[in-house]
Amino acid sequence: MRQTVLTLLIVIAFTSLKAQITDSTKTRKDKLDSLFIQEVEGRNKPDKVLHAEPLYIDLIRDLGARKGEKEWNIGLGLTDNQTFDKYTALVEYEWAPIDRLGLEVELPFSIYYPTQNGIAAPNSKLNSFKIAGQYSFFVSEKLKTSMAVGYIHEFELTDFKNYGKGRTFTGNVYNPFFITAKRWGDNFHILLYTGPQFIQNFSNNSINTNWQINSSFHYMIDGTRNFLGIEFNKEVNKGEFSMTIRPQMRVGIADNLLIGIVTGIPVDRKNERLSTFLRLIYEPGHKKHYH
């Protein structure tokens, strides 16, 4: 059933995306691209460069965020493991209180369901209470390049079944990060997001370090915010390297509403198999400023 629903969503999104690509080829490409980029970059100060934001490891706020920008995200995911299925969900709110500074609050959930008789699945839980900030310290419209630093802090929580039985918070995750992004021409986008995660466990006060190196490449469709792209989510933990490749697309449903569809293909992971992820993006107050 879930595979049928996922296939239907992908077909609908692909059909919509294909129609918009076809429509765009009937217009004057250079004019349309310049008008759309001007809508982001030219109408206000300070400078801001239009970048494609990856869908799985997303940013705290747009690079070069302007005061007053805000966004709601709802994410739903499914990961097929060897002995259980993992369903994920998140609710996220991000906003820019001042120019170039983005803030975020997120609640990520994990629900597990066993798929083999006699083998227990992990316990379901609200993973953490996550807060984050990101500051764009370099934004150049001339170079079509932006850079930012940021920090994510997670207050990790116990399983649902242990609520009221002891300690609610089980640890902390400290995650400073660095981002650099560049647009080549009007359509091609590259981005690097990297930094360490320091994972503290309260039960034994141990700290484990996990390095993240996330790179992405996107092609943005002429005159729209729709794109096709791919993320490479890489981790180094205790000397072991792992990577998940995530092809993805984003389609605009309305001026202020977009949907992102992601497929996860793990490389050299023994237990994790294919995964899917949907992200619904709502931007209150966002309006088109071009015709």
Q: What is the pLDDT of residues 73-119, one digit of tens each?
A: 999 999 998 889 999 999 999 999 999 999 999 999 999 999 887 78
What is the value of pTM for the model shown?
0.85
Domain that holds residue 51: 2-282
Using an 8 Å Cβ cutoff, are 154 and 167 in contact? no
The count of structural domains within the chain is 1
Hey, how many other C-beta atoms are within 10 angstroms of the C-beta on 62? 24
- Predicted confidence at residue 259, as pLDDT, reads 97
> Residue 35 class from Cβ within 10 Å (0-12 exposed, 13-18 middle, 19+ buried)?
middle
The total of other beta-carbon atoms located within 10 Å of residue 268's CB is: 9
Confidence at residue 188, expressed as pLDDT on a 0 to 100 scale: 97
Q: Are 121 and 112 in contact, with CB atoms under 8 Å apart? A: yes
Q: Is residue 207 part of a domain?
A: yes
Q: Is residue 15 in a domain?
A: yes
Is 249 contained in some domain? yes
Q: What is the CATH number of the domain that holds 179?
A: 2.40.160.40
Mean per-residue pLDDT, 50-63: 96
Cβ atoms 177, 149 nearer than 8 A: yes
Assess if residue 263 is contained within a domain: yes
235 in any annotated domain? yes
In a domain, 56, yes or no: yes
Note the pLDDT tens digit of each residue in 187-238. 999 999 999 999 999 988 899 999 999 999 999 998 889 999 999 999 999 8
Q: What pLDDT does 255 receive? A: 87
Can you say how many angstroms the Cα of residue 266 is from the centroid of all Cα atoms in its chain?
17
pLDDT tens-digit map of 3-28? 555 555 555 555 555 555 555 444 44
CB count in 10 Å sphere of residue 77:
19
